[in-house]
């Protein structure tokens, strides 16, 4: 019985809209250590995470949408490959492949994470049915979560997300008005 209590207390709670994003530490493709949300302090931020090799497709689709739709001077973007398990043994090859496949000007906006992936899966309510989804987090200028979503790219959700991001960028830091106060989006 005591083991069940210890295990239950160790379980990670789901990330919620309105909470400050917990620290997420990784390395950019330039080799620098990056810690979110501090790396984007003062900026409205969109984070796109993927937990599997196949999740790169929806993450790339959301990233392409961001790059063609959103002004990076207004909203910043980070692509975050979450690599756990045995794949961590291939870290050097994985990083080299990502560097060669990513334009140099974007290297500081790709943060590869090799530790704590299980914790983040729990925080984002990751499931095997949705393991290949992109997991998106929109942050206000204070690093507070204002929108959560997982899934493939979807134009109508992207349009709503753009509205939220622009609204956050136009408002006083940290203010997300009642129309955007709680938004968790499911596919």
CATH code (residue 60): 3.40.30.10
- Distance between CA atoms of residues 70 and 175, nearest Å: 20
Q: Which residue has the higher pLDDT, 80 or 176?
A: 80
Q: Report the number of distinct structural domains present in the chain.
A: 1
Residue 179 has pLDDT above 50, yes or no: no
Is 73 part of any domain? yes
Q: Is the pLDDT of residue 11 over 90?
A: no
* Residue 184, in any domain of the structure: no
Domain assignment present for 166: yes
pTM: 0.80
> Domain containing 66: what range?
42-172
- Find the range with the poorest average confidence among 29-43, 52-66, 98-112: 98-112
49's enclosing H/E stretch is: strand 44-50
pLDDT recorded at residue 10 = 47
pLDDT at 118 > cutoff 70? yes
Higher pLDDT, 184 or 177: 184
Measured CA to CA in angstroms, residue 27 lies from 35, 54, 102, 105, 155 at distances of 8, 21, 15, 16, 30
């Amino acid at each position: 019985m005591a083991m069940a209590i210890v295990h239950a207390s160790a379980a990670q709670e789901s990330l919620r809209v309105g909470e400050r994003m917990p620290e997420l530490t990784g390395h950019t493709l330039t080799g620098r250590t990056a810690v979110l949300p501090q790396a984007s302090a003062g900026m409205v931020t969109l984070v796109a995470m993927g937990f599997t090799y196949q999740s790169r497709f929806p993450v790339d689709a959301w990233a392409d949408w961001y790059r063609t739709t959103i002004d990076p001077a207004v909203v910043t973007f980070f692509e975050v490959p979450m690599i756990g398990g045995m794949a961590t043994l291939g870290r050097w090859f994985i990083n080299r492949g990502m560097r060669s496949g990513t334009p140099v000007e974007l290297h500081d906006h790709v943060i590869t994470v090799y530790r704590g992936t299980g914790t983040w899966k729990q925080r984002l309510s990751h499931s095997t049915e949705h393991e290949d989804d992109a997991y998106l987090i929109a942050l206000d200028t204070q690093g507070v979560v204002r929108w959560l979503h997982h899934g493939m790219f979807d134009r109508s959700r992207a349009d709503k997300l753009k509205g939220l991001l622009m609204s956050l960028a136009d408002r006083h830091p940290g203010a997300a008005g009642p129309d955007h106060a709680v938004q968790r989006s499911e596919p």
